[in-house]
Chain A
Amino acid sequence: MDLRRSMLFIPGNNPGMLQNGGVFGADSVILDLEDAVAPMEKDAARFLVAHALRTVDYGSSETVIRINPLDTFAAADIKAIVPCCPDAILVPKVESAADIHQVIAMIAAAEKPGQTPVKIIALLETPCGIVEAYNIAKADPRVVALALGAEDYTAGLGAMRTKEGTEIFTARTVLINAAAAAGIQSIDTPYTDANDEEGLLADTELAKRLGFKGKLSINPRQIDVIHNVFSPSLSDIDWAEQVIQAIRKAESEGSGVASLNGKMVDLPIVNRAETILHLAQLLGLMEEKK
């Protein structure tokens, strides 16, 4: 499973940021052709982003391109970007499985022979998109994550966007549930006040409690906070190790049932423990713990 604790937006029309996008340690960088770029600058940004994909080393960050919506410049974006081998495309304003199929047809047509298939992350940012979340998540194996875009979504609801986020509670839980049901990741909406570190922390902790696996980010300064929340803590790792030990012990004793501190250890718990240890391994936390 790929790590997507943090997915950092980089404006596609800013050469300096495109060049430096890899230095911030985000799990994914999203080179943005959509909201960050004025309509008059779409061509230039597309050219810059394509060039950046071919020449800039984004280190361990996954490269994701946010294209424009299907009804505007999506076709031109896909045609220019896909042959440059991004890891994934973030498709905005997805509202149905049909949208995904349409995008995939264009991606498949643009891919070079032998190219690793480009993944899709669906950005749900309308009430319709939320209603269709599960169908979108299940639309194709290329879809690896659902992400929430709360600003447009709230506008679609006719509600006021607040820092507490009561108005997006349903969208969050529906999206998380749909992604989990489809066996893919769910990524939370960005926290848009880059100067409010406490607010970001509270919002990210809430996202993690609800079940999100990562968070979109609009500023490199947010990455550390987001990573700290989504990375397993030392006590998480301890717990996971105890779970695995308990299940191994039970297995070696020929018992199908294990327990830890008086609680039964069943398959979902083992799965959760394994995910934590896998993450800890990926992040080098096992070494640190020793």
Chain B
Amino acid sequence: MKNAIGREIPEKISGIAEIKPFAGAFATVPEMRRQAPKVKRIKPTDNKLVDNLVEVFKKIPVTDGMTLSFHHHFRNGDGVVNMVLATAAQLGLKNLTVALSSVFPVHAPIIEHVKNGVVTGLDTNYMSGPVAQAVSRGLFNKPVVLRTHGGRGRAIECGQLKIDVAFIAAPAADAYGNLNGVEGPAACGSLGYAFPDAQYADHVVAVTDYLGEYPLSPISIPQTRVDYVVKVECVGDPKGIVSGTTRITKDPVGLKIAETAAKVIQATGLIKNGFAFQTGAGGASLATAAFVRKMMEKDNVVGSFALGGITGYMVDMLEKGLFKKLIDVQGFDLEAIRSLATNPNHLEVGADFYASPFNAGCAVNQLDVVILGATEMDTDFNVNVVTGSDGVIMGGSGGHADAAAGAKVTIIVANLLRGRLPIIVDKVLTATTPGETIDVLVTERGVAVNPRRTDLKEKFLAAGLPIKDIQELKELAEKIAGVPKEVKTGDNIVAVVEYRDGTIIDVVRQVEG
């Protein structure tokens, strides 16, 4: 069957319980109640501290077929996932599902656990590195579920991602299970992606290498939801967790794109008091923030809030009074951690608060503008951030589809030519974010506006911006680089791409070789 954006979705996919095709960004209305988590109790004299992971596995007990969840705030410095899965393998457990909000190169040992039958399922929002490559080549017998950050929160709340045990890597914990991310050697800032896990998992285990005095302060995840605390030698490598400072790109093409994107934002008329903004930490995205900042400073604009992954750059804007608040679901650098720990206007929120479509309102809905990237975009403005030019998985939505759906204006910044490949194609290999939620594409050679947004196009033309039809931009790119050969994929479905509302927007098929 074809879904609402014309992607062919099988009616049945082995290993996936129910297939609901994507019907439109806001078409699916939930008719259900939230999952009721297990009610817990503890006696006053009970002790939550457990000596090691083996012991906690036995106490719970962790059994074959369970779903173990993890957050990705330690990024490529994470030590906890590998530690927990090694314990599972050591105890001879089989058939586990790993629900890890993002998979990084450091998680390569998962591959061996899959081959040995310890792990048989993967549920994630983003993956890069050896695991992603192995998934693309058919590592799992059933498809990996790729969600959005908001969609994962929704799936947990709605009971569609049922977590048996949440292992929460905690930079700091007290012995009674209060956790935060701003202290200890593995400080990572916000613990937002673990909030839904802590609320809804049957069992919650904090894994830490830094035990503070009771009561820990601040508290990000409270003792009321944490069953066990395990102290280990080391939870992760700080070098892989945070960067020292996040720098603005010096790539002249990236800067050109960023500057144009900032002019686009200015032309929307949204840069005024109360401006709410989200941008990524990389390349042209952060550089756009720098240009927007100049405009805000020039016109004395005080924004309402900046959202999303928080960098030192955003912290500086908060401290200089350019934004009144930061809403932080994930911090990227040491400045973000310092600010979260000390500034009451720097708010730590969970994935559901950030972006879940099925609650009484998430933060992305309050955004004026979001700046996002893309590996591919088609002439219907559908965006791919999952597969690369070789068809291999190299990312995932993360908050992409969530922020795109929520913001008043969603802008994609991308080089029209990446390496020697045009970014605009007739049909993206993998649709991640539907074109109806994308408003503008900004490239170094022109700006394309979604035909749905005639209002924006008029404003941009009036501002003298280099507006081109998306087809025209595509042809321009092809004139320079030629038309790329279509990527050949096999029939085997290695991943399903779930839209934030739980419907299937696309599938990823196995690459050859």
List B residues 254-280 near A (Cβ within 8 Å): 255-256, 259
Looking at the assembled complex, report how far the CB atom of B463 sits from the nearest CB atom of chain A, in whole angstroms: 11
Assess whether B253 is interfacial by the CB under 8 Å rule: yes
Q: B480 touching A19 by the CB < 8 A rule?
A: yes
How many Å lie between the Cα of A153 and that of B444 in the bound state? 36
In the complex, besides A23-B444, A24-B252, 9 extra interface pairs with C-beta distance below 8 angstroms are A16-B253, A17-B252, A19-B417, A20-B252, A20-B444, A23-B253, A24-B256, A219-B252, A220-B252
Closest residue of chain A to B445, judged by CB? A23
Interface size on B, residues (CB 8 A): 10
Given A20-B444, A23-B444: A220 in contact with B256 (beta carbons within 8 A): yes
A248 at the interface (CB under 8 A from B): no
Secondary structure type dominating chain A contacts: helix
Q: Map CB proximity to B onto A7-49 as digits: 1 under 8 Å, 0 otherwise.
A: 0000000001101100110000000000000000000000000
Interface membership of chain A positions 234-261, coded 1 if the CB is closer than 8 angstroms to chain B and 0 otherwise: 0000000000000000000000000000
Contacts of B255 in A (CB 8 A): 220-221
List of B residues within 8 angstroms of A221 by Cβ: 252, 255
> Which residues of the other chain, B, contact A57 by a CB distance below 8 angstroms?
480
Interface residues of A (CB under 8 A from B): 16-17, 19-20, 23-24, 56-57, 219-221, 224, 284, 288
What separation, in Å, do the CA atoms of A288 and B464 have in the docked complex? 9
Closest to A23 in B: B444
> Which residue of chain A has its CB nearest to the CB of B255?
A221
Distance from B446 Cβ to chain A, minimum over Cβ atoms (Å): 9
A-B contact pairs, 24 of them (CB 8 A): A16-B253, A17-B252, A19-B417, A19-B480, A20-B252, A20-B253, A20-B444, A23-B253, A23-B256, A23-B444, A23-B445, A24-B252, A24-B256, A56-B480, A57-B480, A219-B252, A220-B252, A220-B255, A220-B256, A221-B252, A221-B255, A224-B259, A284-B464, A288-B464
Which of A23, A24, A219 has the largest number of chain B CB atoms within 10 A? Answer: A23
Name the prevailing secondary structure of the B interface residues.
helix
The residues in B between 388 and 446 inclusive whose CB is less than 8 angstroms from any CB of A are 417, 444-445
* Chain A nearest Cβ from B282, distance in angstroms: 18
Residues of B within 8 A of A23 (CB): 253, 256, 444-445
How far is A16 from B445 in the complex, measured between Cα atoms in Å?
14
Query: Which has the most chain A C-beta neighbours within 10 Å: B252, B253, B259, B464?
Result: B252
Within the assembled complex, what's the spacing in Å between the Cα atoms of A219 and B256?
A: 12
User: Shortest Cβ distance from B430 into chain A, in angstroms?
Assistant: 27
CB distance from A64 to the nearest CB of B (A): 18
What residue of chain B has the Cβ atom nearest to residue A17's Cβ?
A: B252
Q: In the bound complex, how far is the Cα of B54 from the Cα of A142, in angstroms?
A: 84
Q: Mark B107-130, 1 if CB is under 8 A from A, else 0.
A: 000000000000000000000000
In the assembly, what is the distance between CA of A219 and CA of B253, in Å? 11
| Interchain nearest-CB distance for B295 vs A (Å) | 13
Closest residue of chain B to A224 (Cβ to Cβ) is B259
Min C-beta distance of B267 to chain A, whole Å: 14
Which residue of chain B has its CB nearest to the CB of A195?
Answer: B250
Mask for B302-318, Cβ within 8 A of A = 1, else 0? Answer: 00000000000000000
A224-B263 Cα distance, complex, nearest whole Å: 13
> How far apart are A48's CB and chain B's nearest CB, in angstroms?
15
Chain A contacts of B252 at CB under 8 A? 17, 20, 24, 219-221
Q: Which B residues lie within 8 Å of A17 (CB)? A: 252
Q: What is the chain A residue whose CB lies nearest that of B416? A: A23
A156, B332: Cα distance in complex, Å: 50
Set of chain A residues within 8 Å of B464, measured between Cβ atoms = 284, 288
A11 to chain B, nearest CB (A): 12
| B253 contact set on A, CB distance < 8 A | 16, 20, 23
Which residues on B sit within 8 Å (CB–CB) of A220? Answer: 252, 255-256
Closest 3 CB pairs of A and B: A220-B252, A23-B444, A20-B253
Chain A, residue nearest B252 (CB): A220
Q: Which residues of B contact A219 (CB under 8 A)?
A: 252
Residue ID in chain A nearest B419 by CB atoms? A16
Chain B residues with CB under 8 Å of A224's CB are 259
| Residue in chain A with minimal CB distance to B260 | A23
Kindly list chain B residues whose C-beta atoms are within 8 Å of the C-beta of A24. Answer: 252, 256
Chain A minimum-CB-distance residue to B446: A23
Bound form: Cα–Cα A141–B417 in Å: 40
Report Cα–Cα, A219/B255, bound state, in Å.
Answer: 11
Complex Cα spacing A220 to B256, Å: 8
Q: In chain A, what residue has the closest Cβ to B257?
A: A23
